[in-house]
């Protein structure tokens, strides 16, 4: 049990003034593993005031000081990898090897990347008779999700620290414990008091208060599209900067010269990573009609053998859904796919074989899915792959762009130039060619209802900067 009773405000652990606690449940065992306090409006105001008081200090810090803090944080994340990974696996249900690599390893590298970036960053530029000066945007509010909890926190905290901003973090109520461990780490590095503050609570209360707070200059939100709309509405009266990283229903397109065996094998992992609870998962596989039988045969066999179970056990490929609510939601989508006439290739309704507890669903794949079907249009956020076919490249592009979302995508072809040309026509923020690896220095973010703004890399840093023109 990890019971946290205090909030981190102004460089100190202080008693929360809100009522009650939020219990954290291990989705694999359905057991309570910890709790965090519910913050109140007084807690939010105290945290914002601490960040405001610290802003002049951190704003005037040198690049060398910021580099030192970022490197200290990266080293501390590495030193605490196992505790952080075990905690995230217990909170989210992510298989432990993936937790170590992606849930902790990636944030560590991201933090270090911003330290490196500051070494040569140009803060001033002369344009004719104007001196353009880049300055921190100010006091930031971060509202983060449960699916990649530490990664999404660091994706905001690291560039904000690099930019010279101060901040208040509200972590997700499903997976807040890792954020408290992060606060413990930050408390032991050379960061001035008040630069980083942590207030746990409910999004409808703490999140809304932060979004509308007059002393918050920027709010960065990652989560569902519906919640992102609410954040934008709450922020609108104060005309603060808002960045949103929201949902996705990303397309994975095989052109007619692609290797069907490779496409079939790789498309499963691209959809099922983190048990399918990934906003950028490639959940819609679009293949030539001539490939249909070969691809579906391989996917059917492989998904049927995809191991779901204890996320701490060796060989587990798919953990549980994060909560009972999420389990029921994914189950409902699977039932809807069957009812609406999609061809069930593997998986289906009910618990995976051998499991009678935990918030598990069967890793599932559907073929012959049409654009009118619910499972084609809506984000499922679980291990459910949907497959459709096309007859022309123009139809493939239309199908790929047939979504209210535009976060990620994939293209497969033996002709890389052809694949890139197709990718450029996709209305989405990122596209991988033939399984191209994720790049922490490339901007991450979406088109359309997948949000606005970018995280990671130089573009992620610039989201936390204002530009001032000084004429001479």
Residues identified as active-site: 245, 279
Q: Please, are residues 25 and 13 in contact by the beta-carbon 8 Å criterion? A: no
Please state whether 10 falls in left (phi above 0), alpha (psi between -120 and 50) or beta. Answer: left
Which of 438, 443, 441, 440 minimizes the C-alpha distance to 459? 443
Is residue 309 within 8 A of residue 272, CB to CB? The reply is: no
Strand partners, 245: 222, 451
Burial zone of 345 (CB within 10 Å; 0-12 exposed, 13-18 middle, 19+ buried): buried
Alpha-carbon distance values, 267 to 263, 317, 371, 384, 468 (Å): 6, 14, 19, 11, 46
CA distance 222 to 227: 9
- Cα–Cα distance between 342 and 337 in angstroms, integer? 6
Residue with tokens 């500051």: 118
Distance set, CA 230 to CA 95, 127, 204, 225 (Å): 32, 39, 9, 9
Nearest of 140, 84, 136, 141 to residue 107 by alpha carbon? 84
Distance from C-alpha of 373 to C-alpha of 337, rounded to nearest angstrom: 7
For the sheet with 2-3, list strands across it.
2-3, 31-37, 21-26
DSSP code per residue over 195-249 = SEEE----IIIIIHHHHH-TT--EEEEES-HHHHHHHHHHHGGGT-EEEEE----
Pairing of strands 130-136, 465-471: antiparallel
CB 415 within 8 A of CB 440: no
What are the strands, taking DSSP E only, across 266-394? 284-288, 343-346, 364-367, 384-390
Q: What are the two backbone dihedrals, phi and then psi, of residue 303, each rounded to the nearest 5 degrees? A: -70, -35
Q: Token match 């929360």: residue?
A: 16
């Amino acid at each position: 049990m990890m019971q946290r009773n205090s909030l981190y405000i102004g460089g100190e652990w202080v008693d929360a003034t809100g009522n009650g606690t939020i219990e954290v449940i291990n989705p694999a065992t359905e057991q309570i593993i910890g709790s965090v306090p519910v913050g109140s409006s007084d807690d939010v105001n105290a945290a914002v005031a601490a960040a405001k008081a610290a802003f002049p200090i951190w704003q005037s810090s040198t690049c060398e000081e910021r580099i030192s803090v970022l490197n200290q944080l990266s080293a501390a994340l590495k030193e605490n990898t196992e505790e952080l990974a075990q905690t995230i696996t217990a909170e989210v249900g992510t298989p432990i090897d993936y937790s170590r690599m992606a849930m902790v390893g990636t944030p560590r590298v991201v933090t270090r990347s911003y330290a490196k970036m500051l070494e040569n960053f140009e803060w001033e530029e002369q344009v004719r008779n104007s001196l353009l000066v880049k300055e921190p945007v100010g006091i930031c509010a971060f509202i983060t999700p449960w699916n990649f909890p530490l990664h999404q926190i660091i994706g905001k905290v690291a560039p904000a620290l690099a930019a010279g901003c101060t901040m208040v973090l509200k972590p997700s109520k499903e997976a807040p414990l890792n954020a408290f461990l992060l606060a413990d780490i930050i408390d032991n590095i050379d960061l001035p008091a008040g630069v980083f503050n942590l207030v746990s609570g409910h999004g409808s209360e703490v999140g809304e208060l932060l979004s509308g707070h007059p002393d918050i200059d920027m709010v960065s939100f990652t989560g569902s599209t519906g919640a992102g709309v609410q954040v934008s509405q709450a922020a609108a009266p104060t005309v603060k900067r808002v960045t949103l990283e929201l949902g996705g229903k990303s397309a994975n397109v095989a052109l007619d010269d692609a290797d069907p065996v490779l496409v079939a094998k790789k498309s499963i992992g691209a959809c099922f990573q983190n048990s399918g609870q990934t906003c950028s998962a490639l959940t819609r596989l679009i293949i030539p009609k001539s490939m249909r039988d070969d691809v579906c045969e391989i996917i059917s066999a492989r998904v049927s053998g995809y191991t779901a179970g204890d996320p701490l056990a060796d060989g587990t490929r798919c953990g549980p859904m994060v909560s009972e609510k999420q389990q029921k939601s994914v189950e409902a989508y699977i039932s809807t796919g069957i009812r609406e006439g999609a061809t069930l290739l593997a998986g289906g309704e009910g618990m995976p074989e051998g499991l009678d507890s935990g918030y598990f669903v069967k890793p599932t794949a559907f073929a012959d899915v049409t654009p009118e079907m619910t499972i084609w249009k809506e984000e499922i956020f679980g291990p459910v792959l949907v497959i459709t076919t096309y007859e022309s490249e123009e139809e493939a592009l239309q199908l790929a762009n047939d979504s209210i979302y535009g976060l990620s995508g994939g293209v497969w072809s033996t002709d890389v130039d052809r694949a890139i040309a197709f990718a450029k026509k996709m209305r989405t923020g990122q596209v991988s060619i033939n399984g191209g690896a994720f790049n922490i220095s490339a901007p991450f973010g979406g088109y359309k209802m997948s949000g606005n703004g970018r995280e990671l890399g130089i573009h992620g840093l610039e989201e936390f900067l204002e530009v001032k023109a000084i004429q001479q």
